[in-house]
């Protein structure tokens, strides 16, 4: 069955215009590795050089932000949806 | 080091439909004392057609992790991701796109802050061509509004006055 990865519009050009990718289940780190094999450029927009999530990029497994789970060790099961979401924020 | 950008009153104003501007001003008043945030969608024919209110999650993030998110919703906004993804999804079938990101400032002016610019300029900002509308709420009333748009000649964002379009 695998995992569905939703790609935000601003990054779709890096994966041939696709809105979703299908990758095998595993820890989030393994899911991102699978994304990186399809598009190293996309992976580089999600992870910083030291392998951590970039500051303004959030990754959700279903409805849960992985920063409040186990970060890159968050389990991602068959049928789950991973969403890559850049932040929109600001203030006075 | 970025500096805040103020509206330039000498520039030609941007005209927004009354319905769009009124909805945004109402959102800002209702959200007071917190900042509001949302999106405007439109197309090439009419750039500003629909307002989509989004939730400001900054207070939630602050309560979860005050070290990373030192501000609460009175001093900043953090647009709920599910809200903005849904807005984008709904706009696409109508042939529209997100053309403007709006938010309010509470008890200060309608400038484009350093923090606003940091997020709007990030490489992955989801709506890189969008305008940024900022409205200022002071004492419960909207007292100022300005629209910030990229200007290649200026090397960054430029602030313009905003006026309603009376049919």
Give the containing element (helix H, strand E) for A43.
helix A40-46
The reported pTM is 0.89
- In CATH terms, the fold of domain B14-165 is Cytidine Deaminase; domain 2 (3.40.140)
Q: How far apart are alpha carbons B54 and B37 in whole angstroms?
A: 6
Residue A68 contacts by C-beta under 8 Å, 6 or more apart in sequence?
B64
Window A:26-45, CB contacts with B under 8 Å: 45
Task: Print the domain residue range for A71.
Answer: 3-86
Cis before B139 (ω within 30): no
- Which DSSP letter does residue B93 get? G
With cut-offs at 50, 70 and 90, classify the pLDDT of residue B105: very high
Window B:132-151, CB contacts with A under 8 Å: none
In-domain check, residue A65: yes
Among chain B residues, the shortest Cα distance to A57 is held by B124
Question: pLDDT tens digits for A21-74?
Answer: 999 999 999 999 999 999 999 999 899 878 889 888 899 999 898 988 999 999
| ipTM tops 0.85 | yes
- Cβ separation of B128 and A91 shorter than 8 Å? no
CATH number, domain with residue A59: 3.10.20.30
Domain count, chain A: 1
In-domain check, residue A45: yes
- Cβ separation of B116 and A9 shorter than 8 Å? no
Q: For chain A, say whether B119 makes contact (Cβ under 8 Å).
A: yes
In-domain check, residue A91: no
In-domain check, residue A92: no
Cβ-Cβ pairs closer than 8 A, A with B, add up to: 79
**How far B90 CA sits from the closest chain A CA (Å)?**
13
């Amino acid at each position: 069955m695998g995992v569905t990865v939703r790609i935000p519009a601003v990054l779709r050009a890096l994966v041939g215009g696709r809105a979703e990718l299908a990758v095998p289940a595993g820890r989030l780190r393994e899911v991102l590795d699978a994304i990186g094999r399809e598009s190293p450029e996309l992976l580089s927009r999600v992870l910083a050089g030291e392998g951590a999530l970039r500051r303004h990029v959030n990754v959700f497994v279903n409805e849960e932000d992985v920063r409040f789970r186990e970060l890159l060790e968050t389990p991602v099961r068959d049928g789950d949806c991973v969403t890559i979401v850049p932040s929109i924020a600001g203030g006075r | 080091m970025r500096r805040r950008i103020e509206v330039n009153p000498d520039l030609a104003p941007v005209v927004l439909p009354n319905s769009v501007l009124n909805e945004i001003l109402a959102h800002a008043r209702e959200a007071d004392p917190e900042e509001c945030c949302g999106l405007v969608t439109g197309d090439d024919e009419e750039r500003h057609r629909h307002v989509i209110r989004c939730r400001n999650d900054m207070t939630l993030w602050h309560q979860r992790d005050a070290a990373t998110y030192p501000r609460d919703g009175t001093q900043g906004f953090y647009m709920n991701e599910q809200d903005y993804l849904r807005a984008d999804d709904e706009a696409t079938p109508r042939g529209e796109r997100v053309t403007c990101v709006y938010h309010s400032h509470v008890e200060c002016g309608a400038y484009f802050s350093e923090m606003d610019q940091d997020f709007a300029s990030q490489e992955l900002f989801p709506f890189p061509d969008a305008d940024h509308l900022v409205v200022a709420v002071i004492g419960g009333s909207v007292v100022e509004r300005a629209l910030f748009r990229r200007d290649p000649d200026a090397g960054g964002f430029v602030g313009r006055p905003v006026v309603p379009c009376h049919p």
